[in-house]
Amino acid sequence: MPFNRTAVRNVFIYNRATGTCLGGLRQNGSVTEAVFLWILNNILFLVSSSSSEDAEISIHAQARATQRVVSPTSNPLEAGDIILDPNPIELTDEPWIQRIFSRSVSSGGREEDRFRLGLRARDGRCVLSGVVNLNAEMGDWSLFESAHVFPLEKESLWTRDDFGRWITDDDDDDDDDMDLDMDHASNISKIHSCQNGLLLRRDLHTMFDSYLISVNPDDGYKITVFNYDILGLDGRILDPVCRDPADPHRVSDEILRWHFRQSVLANMRGAGEPIFEHDFPPGTDMMRDIQDEPRGQERFEMEIALRLRGGGHGDG
């Protein structure tokens, strides 16, 4: 069964005029008042009328318990109920992009191999936790996985919305690759560029695909954990090794912004989006269980598409 994102919240957002709970978040300490106000005004809410042109103060937020006004400062947002003005105010209906645990995306295709090897060479460590792979000289990468920031199973959306414009490394294929089928979408979309990837520990790859951990490039590349921070990663900074401005293969800020935005929509809007089960016991009818989930049909179709592509659930 899908997991409930609301169960971990310690901040709850209310409309003062109606008393309606509009969403919330788990504050582990890294979300500042300034970032919270930016999220309200630029991601979560549509304000019908405002007397100010300053987006940071177009929504008035106040702590219920202390009556303290939330202001655009670097102070950590306090846990508790937050009351919002003005009225009318409504949640955005911006689509949230569901994704699955897209570890293995093919059975050793050249693009996927280049993606995986490129991330190992660029990062050499989990860029969220900072854990270095000391076994690299042995060729052992079993604890580390190459993660797509924008999910591979949504490649049609990547192409439709031209996310490839954020891929700037212009890494031409080797001559040996000229025999690849140029009609293949990923040759056009550049979705396998290292600029759309991070090397992560296996457990953090799962969290990243679930939008439970993300990076805000506009807040000093700070890591935000939207769940209980049992690993102590909230507030850390994304390892510089993957974002060196001098490296043409550095991860794209724009694609990181997309992932952070999706994480906010998944975790902070309304009741939140489902977190899908992925640990199916032996003998489980996985596809039947998936179809019984909320939004299960969409997940079912993505799982089928991934399998038709040739993928399983290994490193990718």
Burial (0-12, 13-18, 19+ Cβ within 10 Å), 134? exposed
pTM: 0.84
Per mean pLDDT, which of 123-132, 164-173, 282-291 is the most reliable? 123-132
Length of the chain: 316
Distance of alpha carbon 7 from alpha carbon 267, whole angstroms: 11
Is there a contact between 286 and 296 (Cβ–Cβ < 8 Å)?
Answer: no
For residue range 155-202, what is the model confidence (pLDDT) as tens digits?
999 999 999 999 999 755 444 443 444 344 444 579 999 999 999 999
Predicted local confidence at residue 283, as pLDDT: 58
CA 67 to chain centre: 33
The residue among 229, 262, 232 whose CA lies nearest residue 92 is 262
pLDDT surpasses 80 at 247: yes
Is there a contact between 13 and 21 (Cβ–Cβ < 8 Å)?
Answer: yes
DSSP conformation class of 43: I
Distance of alpha carbon 210 from alpha carbon 195, whole angstroms: 20
Beta-carbon count within 10 A of 238 CB = 20
Predicted local confidence at residue 100, as pLDDT: 77
Determine if the peptide bond prior to 282 is cis (ω within 30°): no
**Cross-strand pairs, 63:** 82
Confidence of residue 315 (pLDDT cuts 50, 70, 90): low
Predicted local confidence at residue 7, as pLDDT: 94
Domains of the chain: 5-91 (3.10.20), 110-261+294-309 (no CATH)
Task: List Cβ<8 Å contacts ≥24 apart for 208-213.
Answer: 208/128, 208/147, 208/259, 209/99, 209/100, 209/101, 209/102, 209/147, 209/151, 210/101, 210/275, 210/276, 211/99, 211/259, 211/262, 211/263, 211/266, 211/267, 211/273, 212/263, 212/267, 212/275, 213/128, 213/263
Distance of alpha carbon 150 from alpha carbon 258, whole angstroms: 8
Comparison of pLDDT for 105 and 304, the residue scoring more: 304
Confidence of residue 212 (pLDDT cuts 50, 70, 90): very high
The mean per-residue pLDDT over the stretch 215-238 comes to: 98
For residue range 3-55, what is the model confidence (pLDDT) as tens digits?
789 999 999 999 999 999 999 999 999 999 999 999 999 999 987 654 445 44
Is there a contact between 315 and 141 (Cβ–Cβ < 8 Å)?
Answer: yes
Is there a contact between 11 and 79 (Cβ–Cβ < 8 Å)?
Answer: yes
